[in-house]
Amino acid sequence: MRSLQVRFALILISAVVAVVLVATGVTAFVISSGDANRMVGPMAQHIATSADLLSARGQQDRPPPPPREEISDNAATGAIRQDLTDALASALADEGQTGTVLVSTDAETGQPVASYELPDGRWAIFAFPRQMTPPAELWIALGSWLSLIVIGVVAVALVIARRVTQPFVMLERAVASVGDDGVLPHIPEIGSGESRHTAAALNRLSDRLRTTMESRMRLVAAAGHDLRTPMTRMRLRAEFLPDEERDDWLADLDELDKIADSAIRLVREEGSINDATTVDLKALTEATVEELDAAALPATLDAAEPAWVKASPLSLKRALRNLISNAATHGGGAHVALQARDARALVVIEDNGPGIPEDLLPHVFEPFFRVDPGRGKTANGAGLGLAIAKEIVERLGGSLIIENRREGGLRQIVSLPQVTR
């Protein structure tokens, strides 16, 4: 967003500075060169008058030259200014003077000097007025004026750009501060009109998202509860079926019961996730592994370093149980390790199973995900374990990564922020 603000400011600055530079260039051109052309007419009149005076009498009666003139046998030396020479010759012709005239630049002073040939072959040399060329102080003043304009334009452009882009900055901050529940936080409706309108629109969006998510979770919970009643009736009826059919019916009903139970648990996580406290992750991991091992699921804790996290004990234990049991059930055994790395606590769960095809790894956290070819048909589960575990871990500010091991099997890495005890 700062980039947008800077770009907007640069557009304003470039436009204004470009106009100022063009105006300054025109002014400098007029000051430096325009005066010389304007002095050609008066200079021609002065040369004509002086030439008449110098030619009116003989050599012995010739008056001394005026203060700005001198008589020489040769024209003044220096680079010829052809533009001034042509202009001055034309102006002298209008005054009735047809003698040769040359305008050159004095090597010492840098000022234009006019040389006019008299009838006796001598040259009258006239210096253009010095005020024709602007003094150095004028250029310094012009540069200072331009610098002040640029500084003022930059300051004003930055203020305008900040005001114009304020709604975008607010939008960026709001999106960046989305909570773990996926809902935008409330934004104060203050500032300019555009900022207030943007904040109001974001707040309405946040309210709608919150309402929609709460409605969705209530619907899932209600569906899970409502399924139990017809499932109970179906279970009772299945008891009266022949033996060869009863077992299949009861297996299907057990799977439906687990799906309903998983859906209800997922909804409960929405409400229990805020019951966070400081948890001894080492003790929690050890207890989870022992419970699964006692339930005849092969799970071992290979190493465990002390680590403390901020979490709901029941929720975090449910997430770890889902992940470890997944490895024990489908990977031939779970090997668990707890590591403390800087400010993160890592629970690494590895198994020796067939792994998951790489093209299916991005979908492992989708509800009811199954991998029939790679890991066998999912048994004793509803397909929501990984989805629930990921939901819990991410709400605790952590991350869950699942990847294939090079030596075979699957690796599940739970990363959580550590806290002081």
| Per-residue b or e along 375-410, where b marks 16 or more CB atoms closer than 10 Å to that residue's CB | beebeebbbbbbbbbbbbbebbebebebebeeeebb
d(CA 10, CA 197): 26
Question: How many other C-beta atoms lie within 10 A of the C-beta of residue 275?
Answer: 11
What's the pLDDT tens digit per position in 215-270? 776 776 677 777 777 878 888 888 888 877 888 888 878 777 776 776 666 666 65
Instruction: Beginning with the edge strand found earlier in the chain, give each strand of the sheet holding 123-127 in spatial order.
Output: 69-72, 123-127, 112-117, 101-105, 79-80
- Would you give the end-to-end CA distance of the chain in angstroms? 39
All domains of the chain, ordered by start, with CATH? 2-132 (no CATH), 178-272 (1.10.287.130), 274-417 (3.30.565.10)
> In this structure, what token pair is assigned to residue 265?
């648990």
Q: Which two tokens stand for residue 355?
A: 């792994």
How far apart (Å, rounded) are the C-alpha atoms in residues 250 and 256?
10
Structure tokens at 380: 């004793």
| Eight-state DSSP code of residue 306 | -
- Report how far residue 350's alpha carbon sits from residue 298's, in angstroms, rounded to the nearest whole number: 12
Tokens 């339930």 — which residue? 295
Contact 20, 150 (CB under 8 A): yes
- Cα–Cα distances in angstroms (integers) from residue 43 to residues 101, 108, 144, 174, 244, in the given order: 12, 21, 33, 74, 128
Closest CA to 149 of 278, 27, 301, 279: 27
d(CA 174, CA 184): 7
Residue 49: its H or E element = helix 35-56
Q: CA angle 341-346-352, nearest 5°?
A: 130
Residue 378 is predicted with a pLDDT of 44
Q: Which of 332, 314, 335 is nearest to 413 (CA)?
A: 335
Contact 85, 92 (CB under 8 A): no
Q: What is the pLDDT of residue 135?
A: 59
* Number of neighbouring beta carbons within 10 Å of residue 98: 9
Contacts 24+ apart (CB under 8 A), 233-241: none
Going residue by residue through the chain, which has 421 residues, state the pLDDT in tens, using 9 for 90 and above: 456 667 777 777 788 778 777 777 777 676 665 455 567 777 888 888 887 777 664 444 545 544 456 788 888 888 888 888 888 888 888 888 888 888 888 878 778 888 988 888 888 888 877 655 555 666 777 778 778 888 888 888 878 777 777 777 777 777 777 665 566 777 777 766 767 787 888 888 888 877 877 777 677 667 777 777 787 888 888 888 887 788 888 887 877 777 677 666 666 665 555 567 899 999 999 999 999 988 889 999 998 899 999 998 888 998 999 999 989 988 889 999 999 988 999 999 999 888 888 888 888 888 767 765 444 444 455 567 888 889 889 888 899 999 999 988 999 999 999 998 7
The single residue listed with the structure tokens 């149980």 is 321
| Backbone torsions φ then ψ of 69, nearest 5 degrees | -125, 160
**Which amino acid belongs to residue 342?**
D
- Measured CA to CA, the distance from residue 197 to residue 171 in angstroms comes to 11
Q: Which long-range contacts (CB under 8 A, 24 or more apart) does 61-64 make?
A: none
Q: Quote the CA–CA distance of 313 and 279 in Å, as a whole number.
A: 7
pLDDT at 289: 93
d(CA 319, CA 389): 4
Answer yes or no: are the C-beta atoms of 222 and 263 closer than 8 Å. no
Kindly report the pTM of this predicted structure: 0.49
243: its two tokens:
């033996």
State how far the Cα of 101 lies from the Cα of 92, in Å rounded to an integer. 9
